Amino acid sequence: MLESADTNSDDTAKCPGLLGGSDDLLEQVRNDWSREEIEKVFMLPFNDLLFKAQTVHRIWFDPNKVQMSTLLSIKTGGCPEDCGYCSQSVKFDTGIGASALMSVKDVLETARQAKEGGASRFCMGAAWRNPKDRDMGAICSMIEGVKSLGMESCMTLGMLTKSQAEKLKSAGLDYYNHNIDTSRRYYKKIISTRTMDDRIETLDKVREAGLNVCCGGIVGMGESREDRIDMLHTFATMPSHPQSVPINMLVRVEGTPLGESNSIDPFDFVRTIAVARITMPKSVVRLSAGREKMNEEFQALCFLAGANSIFIGEQLLTTPNPELSKDKSLFGRLGIEPMSSHECPSEI
C-alpha cells in the first residue's frame, strides 16, 4: 500500500527528469506506459509533478484556455444499472424518479441557452443501460440540431451496438462519453450490473465508428492510490488515448452506497489530474463533477496541473455545479479564456 507521496525513490527525488532521466520523454505521446512508470510519476514530489505537468501542457495547449461544455440530462432516473455513486439508479432510494426522454425541441432550446452562456460543446446524457433502437431517431435529431447551432456534440447513453455507434457518427456526433470509472480491481465494488470489459467493448465500437472518445473516472469513492494509478494506466495504454478525459471528484449523494464516503485528499486529486496530463499529453483533461465542493484555489491548482476543460451551468445531470457568474469571475481573475471548438490536438 502506498501511503504517502514522500515515499518516492531516491532516483525520482534527486533527478529533475521525468523518470529519473531525460525530459525528452515529455514530448512523446506514448501508449506503452508501464504501470511502474505511471506510479513513479504519480509519486514525484508535488512541485516536480506540477512543473512537469505544466511543461507538457504548454507543448500541446495554450495554458490559458479552457474548453467549456454544458451537460444536460435528456432522460433522467429509472436506470437499471447499479453504479454505487449514482442518483439515477432504480436500486437506490435517492428521491429521483424516472422521466421520459426529453423532446428534441426542449433539448435544442437548452443547447441554445448553453451556447449563449459560452459553451462550445453540448453534452447529452440518458440514464440507460443502453439506448433502444426506437429512440435512435430522436437522439440523431438532437445531434443534428446541436450541430446546426455551431456547437460540438457529445452523447452518453450507456453501452452501444456497432450499428448504433455508426448511426451516431452519421448524425454528426463529435464525442461519445463512456467512463471506466475506476481501476479494474476496484470496479466490482462499485458496479455489479456490467463489467469493465463491457465498457471497454463499447469504447472499441465508438473508436471504430470514428467518433472521438470521452472516457474518464471518478476519484474519492474509497479507492486506494494504487487504484487511481491503475485507472490512469488503463487510460494511458488504450489503443489511442481518449480525446477527452473527465476526472470527477465524487459528489456524495444521499441514499447511494457511496453517500457516506470519506473525502479524498485534495492533493491526490490534483496528482490524478497532473498524471493524466503527462501520460495523455494531447488529450483535453476535464475537471468534471465535484467543482461545487472545491474552492477557487483548488480549481486553480487543477488548471496548473493541466486540466483544460470544465462543465458550465448550474446542474450536472442531477448534481449541483458552480453558478456561471462564479466561473466567469474565477476565469477573469486567472486570465483564462474559453477554448474554441475543435482545438484538441488529438481530435479526429
SS3 content of the chain, % helix, strand, coil (to 5): 40, 15, 45
Q: Which CB sits closer to ligand SF4, 88 or 120? A: 88
Three-state SS annotation for 97-158: CCCCCCCHHHHHHHHHHHHHCCCCEEEEEECCCCCCHHHHHHHHHHHHHHHHCCCEEEEECC
The residue annotated as part of the active site, out of 228, 252, 277, 286, is 286
**302 is an active site residue:** no
Q: Are residues 16 and 23 in contact, defined by beta-carbon separation less than 8 angstroms?
A: yes
Q: Which stretch binds ligand SF4 (CB under 6 A): 53-61, 83-91, 165-173, 252-260?
A: 83-91
Q: Which stretch binds ligand SF4 (CB under 6 A): 32-40, 53-61, 75-83, 234-242?
A: 75-83
Q: Which stretch binds ligand SF4 (CB under 6 A): 51-59, 81-89, 217-225, 327-335?
A: 81-89
**123 is an active site residue:** yes
Q: How many CA atoms lie within 13 A of 164 on its CB side?
A: 20
Q: Which three cell numbers stand for residue 266?
A: 485534495
Cα–Cα separations (whole angstroms), residue 114 to 3, 30, 40, 174, 254: 42, 35, 40, 17, 28
**Residue 79 makes contact with ligand SF4 by CB under 6 A:** yes
Vertex 175: Cα angle to 172 and 177 (nearest 5):
135
The residue annotated as part of the active site, out of 121, 123, 215, 228, is 123
Residues 219-248 binding ligand SF4 (CB under 6 A) are none
**Residue 182 makes contact with ligand SF4 by CB under 6 A:** no
CB of 268 to ligand SF4, least distance (A): 23
Distance CA 342, CA 212 (A): 11
**154 is an active site residue:** yes
The residue annotated as part of the active site, out of 194, 199, 207, 214, is 214
Q: Which CB sits closer to ligand SF4, 59 or 98? A: 98
From the centroid of its chain, how far is CA 188?
A: 20
**Residue 83 makes contact with ligand SF4 by CB under 6 A:** yes
Q: Are residues 202 and 237 in contact, defined by beta-carbon separation less than 8 angstroms?
A: no
Among 88, 120, 318, 321, binds ligand SF4 (CB under 6 A): 88
Task: Give the Cβ contact number of residue 328 at 10 Å.
Answer: 13
Among 56, 96, 124, 127, binds ligand SF4 (CB under 6 A): 127
List residues near ligand SF4 by CB under 6 A. 79, 81, 83, 86, 88-89, 127, 158
Residue positions annotated with a catalytic role: 79, 83, 86, 123, 154, 214, 286
